[in-house]
């Protein structure tokens, strides 16, 4: 099978969705610029024109409402934020409005809106240009949250998100854009709410999210050489959460390490730890370890960034701590 | 002088603009050399706005900036060593290496922060102006922001509240006709930004942002009005950035994405604010070639010292990652 990058996979999924269904369109800052959103929207403006590829003023909250309005009337917008950090400005429309709309109006209308936010960090950009907000969105009823870690899932999850018919927050990570892998040319789906076993193992389960999946896979390889067999689960969706895949694995390994791209406190990792502990507390052989960002804003200085962002070594340490 | 501005101030304008220009040229070179990694949004070409505006302010007056704020920091009188060190993300930087180029602060000279979230500092300046009225102080607040920021809702909310409460704030919009890759006509239904003040019952003026004297005099008037309790003014300064949106290139970022016509850039280079003032000063006899040489030499020395200071400074220590989250 041909190989394409993570960024190309997003681009291809968007293009195929738009080709197939005239109700799909993209709207967001920078979606006509090769610079702003990596190359994830390259060529779309040329192909679909300004009616369906709408680059916007810097008006995050307003534009999110606009996308929602289009969704309520039957279109399927993909609303793009070139960085997740800017989504804070749109919390009212995304959370108060889009997430609640169907429920608070008694299920009378749907909001088939995909909200694509990009994690774009590192490079000494500091606190306001580095954040991963998935756990905040996962906290909100009425939003689904997916975080592909591979080119295959990047395409399949975007397609599922657009077909889902509900507000889905789709989070891709700029650090993964150049990852290359086999991706089918046709349209296919990766189910929302289903994790994947990335590597089988028996001694410890590592549940990883987004970019940390890559780190976890590398950690598992290193651990293997030292005789520790780690099972790596790529969560793929963080809401709904695939409890089953996690519980099944931990039942077998009796040990759990969770690797997240967000902050420690109140994050999805704590949620997973809670679920596992409350269901399997008798079977666990050690404490659950969480590898996540320390509870500080992203710093600028590269030396601080290196300490701030966890990597495979932190995962290895966490595994060994209780082994 | 024909314009009632003292020779001292005129020379200060000249020196400040040159300092900003030279400082940023050095930053650009250091980015290309790989010594600077933090994203730098250079204001080369736009120096007259920060300069004219800050010279119309007192040291105690507050200013707030945005992602493109090296010039605001320098014009208000910030220590350029600490600025360069911050751009190098060193421990001696004005934000202790936590912020980089986009997060500058110098409370000692009234710069309370430069958040790079577009539009963010507009209401914050309104808040510091509100504080002046509550405390009964005489301080005026200024927010510097770009044309792009006028599409954020918070811009309109801020204008309304400031005018409603007659707060001592001056809104200075640096209209360089682009926000990232978007020309202003593609994001504003009405590209006349000054006119938007009308709807909020406050004065709005559009001026030549490359004429430092015009900026100075306009801001002076707005500041006076604010200090007298007559409320805010919106000043739209027309200008142009000579470099990319971010980084040292003369386009948005890298030749592959250049969206600005070369003729447009060239025509603005002819309207260089520094050349313009220099010509005027020479004509008026306020500047001689000798003095000019001395000023340039001084700036060269200062910027060189700033670069060396930054290069020699240590990086933050690992444990500093956990400091500064809360006041202890
Ligand atoms: C809320 C928010 N949205 C988007 C961005 C990304 N961004 C950074 S600078 C910029 C353009 C700003 O244009 P303008 O206000 O005209 O200032 P200029 O860069 O031209 O000085 C954008 C869109 C941001 N920093 N914050
Ligand atoms: Mg601009």
Q: Which ligand is nearest to the CA of B70?
A: 1
CA of B176 to the centre of ligand 2 (A): 5
The whole model's pTM is what? 0.97
What percent of chain A shows pLDDT beyond 90? 97
Pocket lining: B147 vs ligand 1, CB cutoff 6 Å: yes
- The per-residue pLDDT of chain B, averaged, comes to 95
- State pLDDT tens for residues A252-307: 999 999 999 999 999 999 999 999 999 999 999 999 999 999 999 999 999 999 99
- State pLDDT tens for residues A229-240: 999 999 999 999
Mean pLDDT value of segment B258-272: 88
- State pLDDT tens for residues A10-64: 999 999 999 999 999 999 999 998 778 889 999 999 999 999 999 999 999 999 9
The residue among A261, A83, A89 whose CA lies nearest residue A174 is A83
Distance of alpha carbon A129 from alpha carbon A107, whole angstroms? 36
Nearest to B37 among A30, A61, A123 (CB): A123
Strand partners of residue B236 = B173, B206
Q: Give the pLDDT of residue B1.
A: 55
Count of CA atoms in the C-beta half-sphere (13 A) of B63: 33
Q: Give the pLDDT of residue A62.
A: 98
Q: Give the pLDDT of residue B256.
A: 44
CA of B146 to the centre of ligand 1 (A): 8
Q: Give the pLDDT of residue A35.
A: 76
Q: Is A139 a catalytic residue?
A: no
Domain tally, chain B = 1
- State pLDDT tens for residues A166-206: 999 999 999 999 999 999 999 999 999 999 999 999 999 99
Pocket lining: A89 vs ligand 1, CB cutoff 6 Å: yes
Using a CB cutoff of 5 Å, list residues around ligand 2, an ion: B 146-147, 176, 179
Assess whether pLDDT exceeds 70 at residue B254: no
* Among the four given CATH numbers 3.40.50.720, 3.40.50.2300, 3.40.50.10470, 3.40.50.920, the one describing domain A196-321: 3.40.50.920
Pocket lining: B68 vs ligand 1, CB cutoff 6 Å: yes
Nearest to A57 among B95, B181, B187 (CB): B187
| DSSP states along A91-126 | HIIIIIIIIHHHHHTTT-S----EEEEEE---TT--
- ipTM field: 0.96
Which domain does B130 fall in, by range? 7-307
Pocket lining: B133 vs ligand 1, CB cutoff 6 Å: no
| DSSP states along A24-72 | EEEEETTTT-TTEEEETTTTHHHHH-TTTEE---S-HHHHHHHHHHHHH
Assess whether pLDDT exceeds 60 at residue B257: no
Q: Which atom of ligand 1 is nearest to the CA of B245?
A: 19
Residue of A nearest to B186 (CA): A57
Q: Give the pLDDT of residue B2.
A: 60
Parse chain A into domains and list their residue ranges.
2-183, 196-321
CA of A213 to the centre of ligand 2 (A): 39
Which carries the bigger pLDDT value, residue B256 or residue B189? B189
Assess whether pLDDT exceeds 60 at residue B311: yes
Burial label, A45 (beta-carbon count in 10 A; 0-12, 13-18, 19+): middle
- State pLDDT tens for residues A261-270: 999 999 999 9
- The per-residue pLDDT of chain A, averaged, comes to 97
Instruction: Name chain B contacts of A124, Cβ cutoff 8 Å.
Output: 37-39, 89, 100
Q: Is A129 a catalytic residue?
A: yes
- State pLDDT tens for residues B1-59: 567 899 999 999 999 999 999 999 999 999 999 999 999 999 999 999 999 999 999 99
Distance of alpha carbon B162 from alpha carbon B142, whole angstroms? 12
**CATH of residue B300:** 3.40.50.970
Assess whether pLDDT exceeds 80 at residue A322: no
Q: Give the pLDDT of residue A105.
A: 98
Instruction: Name chain A contacts of B100, Cβ cutoff 8 Å.
Output: 124-126, 300-301
Q: Give the pLDDT of residue B251.
A: 58
What percent of chain A shows pLDDT beyond 70? 100
Query: Is A2-183 assigned to CATH 3.20.20.70?
Result: no
Nearest to B37 among A124, A127, A304 (CB): A124
Handedness of CA B159, B161, B162, B164 (dihedral sign): positive
User: Left (φ > 0), alpha (ψ -120 to 50) or beta: where does A266 sit?
Assistant: left
- State pLDDT tens for residues A66-91: 999 999 999 999 999 999 999 999 99
Q: Give the pLDDT of residue A33.
A: 83
- Mention every residue, 6+ apart, whose C-beta is less than 8 A from residue B186: A55
């Amino acid at each position: 099978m041909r190989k394409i990058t993570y960024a190309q996979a997003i681009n291809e999924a968007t293009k195929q969705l738009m080709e197939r269904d005239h109700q799909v369109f993209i709207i967001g800052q920078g979606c006509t610029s090769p610079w702003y959103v990596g190359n994830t929207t390259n060529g779309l403006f040329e192909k679909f024109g300004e009616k369906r590829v709408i680059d916007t003023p810097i008006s995050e909250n307003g534009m999110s409402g606009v996308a929602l309005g289009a969704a309520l009337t039957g279109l399927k917008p993909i609303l793009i934020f070139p960085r997740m950090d800017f989504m804070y400005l749109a919390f009212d429309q995304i959370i108060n409005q889009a997430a609640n709309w169907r429920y608070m109006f008694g299920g009378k209308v749907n909001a088939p809106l995909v909200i694509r936010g990009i994690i774009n960090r590192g490079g000494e950009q500091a606190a306001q240009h580095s954040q991963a907000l998935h756990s905040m969105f996962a906290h909100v009823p009425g939003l689904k949250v997916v975080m592909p870690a591979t080119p295959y899932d990047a395409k399949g999850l975007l397609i599922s998100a657009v077909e889902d018919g509900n507000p889905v927050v789709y989070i891709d990570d700029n650090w993964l854009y150049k990852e290359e892998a086999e991706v089918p040319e046709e349209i296919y789906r990766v189910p929302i709410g289903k994790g994947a076993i990335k590597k089988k193992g028996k001694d410890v389960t590592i549940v990883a999210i987004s970019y940390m999946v890559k780190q976890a896979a590398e950690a598992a390889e290193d651990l293997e050489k030292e005789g520790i067999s780690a099972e790596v689960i790529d969560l793929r969706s963080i809401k709904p959460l695939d409890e089953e895949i996690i519980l099944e694995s931990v039942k077998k390994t009796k040990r759990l390490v969770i690797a997240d791209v967000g902050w420690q406190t109140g994050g999805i990792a704590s949620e997973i730890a809670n679920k596992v502990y409350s269901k399997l507390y008798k079977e666990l052989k050690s404490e659950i370890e969480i590898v996540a960002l320390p509870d500080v804003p992203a710093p600028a200085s590269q030396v601080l960034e290196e300490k701030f962002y966890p990597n495979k070594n932190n995962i290895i340490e966490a595994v060994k701590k209780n082994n | 002088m024909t314009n009632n501005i003292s020779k001292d101030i005129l020379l200060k304008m000249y020196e400040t603009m040159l300092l900003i220009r030279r400082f940023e040229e050095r930053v650009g070179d250091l980015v290309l050399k790989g010594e600077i990694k933090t994203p730098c949004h250079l204001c080369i070409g736009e120096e007259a706005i920060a300069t004219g505006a800050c010279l119309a302010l007192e040291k105690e007056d507050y200013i707030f900036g945005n992602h493109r704020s090296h010039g605001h920091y320098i014009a208000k009188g910030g220590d350029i060593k600490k600025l360069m060190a911050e751009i190098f993300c060193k421990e001696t930087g004005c934000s202790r290496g936590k912020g980089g180029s986009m997060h500058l602060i110098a409370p000692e000279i009234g710069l309370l922060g430069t958040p790079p979230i577009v539009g963010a500092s507009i209401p914050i300046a309104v808040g510091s102006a509100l504080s002046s009225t509550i405390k009964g102080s005489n301080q005026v607040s200024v927010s510097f922001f770009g044309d792009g920021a006028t599409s954020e809702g918070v811009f309109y909310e801020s204008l309304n509240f400031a005018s409603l409460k007659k707060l001592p704030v001056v809104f200075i919009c640096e209209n360089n006709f682009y926000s990232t890759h978007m020309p202003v006509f593609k994001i504003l239904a009405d590209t006349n930004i000054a006119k938007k003040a009308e709807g909020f019952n406050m004065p709005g003026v559009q001026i030549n942002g490359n004429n430092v004297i015009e900026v100075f005099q306009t801001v002076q008037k707005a500041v006076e009005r604010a200090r007298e309790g007559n409320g805010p003014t919106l000043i739209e300064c027309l200008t142009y950035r000579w470099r990319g949106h971010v980084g040292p290139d003369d386009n948005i970022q890298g030749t592959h994405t250049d969206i600005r016509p070369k003729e447009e850039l060239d025509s603005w280079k002819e309207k260089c604010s520094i050349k313009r003032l220099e010509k005027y000063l020479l004509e008026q006899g306020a500047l001689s070639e000798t003095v000019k040489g001395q000023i340039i030499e001084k700036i060269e020395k200062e910027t060189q010292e700033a670069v060396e200071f930054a290069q020699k400074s240590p990086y933050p220590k690992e444990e500093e990652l956990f400091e500064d989250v809360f006041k202890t």
